[in-house]
Structure 1
Amino acid sequence: MADIHIVREHALGLEAARKLAFRWAEVAEKKLDMDCTYVEGDSADVVRFRRPGAHGELKVGAERFQLDARLGLLLGVFKHRIETEIVKNLDQLLAHADPLHAFEQGLAKHEGRHAAKHAPKHAKPHHEAPKPATRPVAKSKAAPAKKAK
């Protein structure tokens, strides 16, 4: 087991911090297959998260985020990399005047790169599909038609 403990001070206030944390929980459920529970409090909130190989909680306050996570054996091998990415991403978000907007922009950019990376390389749009080959029709010299009496 490997533990991660990250604390970051911020000047967002509880409402903005709450919005950012709630959006993170939504994305974590969708993109990371985490089960998240968001509990609002009077002066702080808690996001509890769980998935195979990891669980923990994010405490959301008016002036700080505190993340405590426990990684299982397999993810524990990547503890340093996981912790480094979380710290880097959180610090980048908190450096923006509007971290929620920055989060949405970063998410859109990531999804755009992901879609481009996994798009078929030689696919053509339907309207550009090749037309079937046609052969010119040979003109035949037929005998003149007989008129009916």
Structure 2
Amino acid sequence: MAKIDIRRKHHLSLAEARKAVNKLAKSIASEFDLDCGWEGNTLAFSRSGVDGHIALEKGEVHVYAELGFLMGVMKPMIEREIHRHLDEQIG
């Protein structure tokens, strides 16, 4: 099982970071057909072959996902998209 584990520092308030992650989640959810929902400061997401979360903390965002075999083949592309969206939304 392939794993994605990305941590990114940020200088946003938790409210601003949450707003940025919402934009990221909407884009990625539509692109990869994910179901997602907030639990506190953690956005959990899933679909067949993917389970993960985006956790917000003061000064850091943590993206973690476990990819099934078929989605694991797409890991490099998925990681590029996550980095691109984090660059756009969080800086």
> How do 1:3-82 and structure 2 match up within 5 A?
3-40=3-40, 45-82=41-78
CA RMSD, Structure 1 to Structure 2 (Å): 1.8
Q: Is contact 2:7-2:60 (8 Å) kept?
A: yes
Residue 31 of structure 1 and its aligned partner are, at CA, apart by 4.3
Normalising to structure 2: TM-score of the pair? Answer: 0.84
Query: Which ranges of structure 1 fall in alignment gaps of 5 or more residues?
Result: 96-149
Distance 1:78 1:30, change over 3 A: closer
Q: Greater RCO between the two (CA within 8 Å, min separation 6)?
A: 2
Distance 1:22 1:85 in 2: 15
Normalising to structure 1: TM-score of the pair? Answer: 0.54
**Which deviations, in whole Å up to 9, do the C-alpha atoms of 1:24-52 show, x marking residues without a partner?**
33444444321112022xxxx00110011
Is 1:84 the equivalent of 2:80? yes
Q: Is contact 2:17-2:90 (8 Å) kept?
A: no
Identity %: 35
Distance 2:33 2:75 in 1: 18
Residue 78 of structure 1 and its aligned partner are, at CA, apart by 1.6
Q: Which residue matches 1:119?
A: none
**Which deviations, in whole Å up to 9, do the C-alpha atoms of 1:81-122 show, x marking residues without a partner?**
211221133123333xxxxxxxxxxxxxxxxxxxxxxxxxxx
Higher fraction of strand: 2
The structure with more radius of gyration: 1
- Aligned length in residues: 91
Residue 15 of structure 1 and its aligned partner are, at CA, apart by 0.9
